[in-house]
Structure 1
Amino acid sequence: MSLSRIFSVRFRGSFPALASRNTRSMSTNTVAPLLLSPHAVNTLPTRDVKILDATWFMPNSTRSARKEFATRRIPRAQYLDLDEVATPSELGLMHMMPNEPIFANACEKFGITPSTHVILYDVHGVFSSPRALFMFRAFGHTNSSVIDGGIPRWLAEGFPIEQGEPQPTHEKTNYPVPELKTSLIQSYDQIVKNSELSPRARSLVLDARARGRFDGTAPEPRPGLPSGHIPGSFSLPFTTFLKEHRSSNGDTYTTMLRIPDLHRALLDAVGPAVAELIINGDKKIITSCGSGMTAGVLWLGLKLLGAQTVALYDESWTGYAMRSSSKIETST
């Protein structure tokens, strides 16, 4: 079956319908829409719904996620620090996937139960919130969604915000320790082993960094880290899957492309042959980036396109390139 035929069969219907349907508070094991519009979120009942601000900034940014959370946030939101809800790394890497107890403890602190509909957003629009969504889904909490466009779109569409220091929450719940789907997380050893396989046998590694960093022609934002890419990987900058908007107050923000546009963007970026492998599910897909954050944007886009098996290289380029034994390719 041709790729266009697969696409037309699998993705009939419009993207807005995907983002707005089934917006009731859901029960345990419910699979919520990956994306919700601000309007859809605003119509949800408050019972058993928790909103988390998962904003994260690059290490060379002067902005503070916690300060911006205090400045403006969606009503009833709590701040999810992805660098704190993480497993400590021997290499000193940040925001590594938490282990099961760390994740369960964080959910309890936020007042989340296994049946809670968790709504995630960030101040960029779509940037770090997909990584948070990946975390919840990897632990089997499928009743979780991202606000497409984040708080800038929320404001642009006229919904209210809260300001000032948030009131502490004392609504601690019981969240049974879940099981992490380890097949969704790739280690350094697995990435090296995969790169040594033949092109036919290896999984597809998609790199979300900017093309210059992938090619080795632009520097990494982390001092002392060489640029380049994992042998056999493909460049797919995370911005490929995003659309930029400007609101009336001057805010710029991103949303995910509509599904037909996601499909075209994937075709243009990796070519029809590789795109067909992805959509057909003929290859396992591994997303990577600088530190495991924007790899979540690729994961989200590919899941929206119907890709079944999408894993994430948690250490990503930072963990890979800082090891002297790693083989690094460039396009120069």
Structure 2
Amino acid sequence: MSQPLQVSAPLVDVQWLKSALGHPRLVVLDASWYLPDANRDGRAEFGERRIPGAQFFDFDKTIADTESDLPHMLPSPDVFEAEARKLGINRDSVVVCYDGAGIFSAPRAWWMLKVFGHDQVAVLDGGLPAWVAASCALETGTASTPVPGNFEAEVVPDRLAQLPDVISAVESGDRRIVDARGAARFAGEAPEPRPGLRSGHMPGAQNLPYSDVVADGHFRSVHELAELFAARGIKQGDNVIATCGSGVTASVLALAMESSGLGRASVYDGSWAEWGARDDLPIATGR
């Protein structure tokens, strides 16, 4: 690249990443994670094929609060900082995250880096399938060990929503809540995949299934994204909390909002895995 390496938007395309490969400030992260019913193993697939130079970002078992009963909750800043450094991330790194589904789990890694204060991070639109479709080079086998980085974690509070924030939003209505789960789960018409959770949604929440904001593994156009959010009463500058089953596809909505120019949404880390397990919290049903 003739220009200094930087990302000016939350999404980059295959051509951008292809031209940036090999730059000393670039860090590529494979953040593939799948629901159990997908019968796919992100780490195993990483060993079989990956974008050259990529490192595996395991937000499910490694870069997570391993003492929490909730799935892949954010780790402490100290843990995140240490794990990011192991991946070769520096304070001035430009990080690109991707996943094997196209757009599914990579936005979670993007959001985590944003929460811990890293600004130069983007998601590869279309992910590994788009990379393969463009006949770009692949790497296999054991990944090389990067030189440890000097990343420093500093929490950005307005990117993270926690249980008290969501309770306040439900009670006061001063923040919009948008739920990325499928319509049947949102309505309480389909059981939750995790045992022991009630069915339904947070009172006052709007439903925007994450699958609606993507098409063929790519995000929809800026205009289409803005229309989808507008149909839920969400406009530029609104104070929005994104939620889902466990904080993964909520990150897809947060990225969709930001990439369409609607502003920054916070993600409810515990999401329905936390809310649905609490008998003392209100729920609503219906579409």
| TM-score, length-scaled by structure 2 | 0.94
Match for 1:38 among 2, 14, 26?
14
Counterpart contact for 2:114–2:159, Cα < 8 Å: no
The answer to whether residue 88 in structure 2 is matched with residue 116 in structure 1 is: no
Specify every segment of 5 or more residues in structure 1 that has no aligned partner in the other structure, as ranges: 1-20, 245-253
Moved more, 45-54 or 123-132: 45-54
Which position in structure 1 is the counterpart of 2:176?
204
- Whole-Å separation in 2 of the counterparts to 1:88 and 1:34: 28
**1:187 matched to 2:162:** yes
* Superposition map of 1:266-305 within 5 A: 266-268=229-231, 270=232, 274-275=233-234, 278-279=235-236, 281=237, 283-305=238-260
How far does residue 124 in structure 1 lie from its aligned partner after superposition? 0.4
Q: For the residues of structure 2 that align with 1:153 and 1:313, how far apart are their CA atoms? A: 29
CA distance, structure 2, for counterparts of residue 48 and residue 309 of structure 1: 26
Q: Indicate whether 1:87 and 2:62 are aligned.
A: no
CA contact (8 A) 1:187 1:313 kept: yes
1:225 aligns with 197
Letter in 2 for 1:310: A
Other-structure match for 1:321: 276
The residue type paired with residue 85 of structure 1 is I
Is the Cα contact below 8 Å between 1:60 and 1:221 reproduced in 2? no
Identity %: 33
TM-score (norm 1): 0.81
**Match for residue 255 of structure 1?**
218
Note if 1:215 corresponds to 2:187: yes
Alpha-carbon deviation of 1:22? Answer: 9.8
CA RMSD, Structure 1 to Structure 2 (Å): 1.8
State how many pairs are aligned.
285
Q: How does 1:14-163 map to 2 (within 5 A)?
A: 24-26=4-6, 32-44=8-20, 45-83=22-60, 84-90=62-68, 92-163=69-140
Structure 2 distance, partners of 1:118, 1:61, is 27
Mapped to 1, the partners of 2:123 and 2:18 lie a distance apart of 13
User: In the alignment, is the contact (CA less than 8 A) between 2:197 and 2:277 conserved in 1?
Assistant: yes
Task: Flag the structure with larger Rg.
Answer: 1
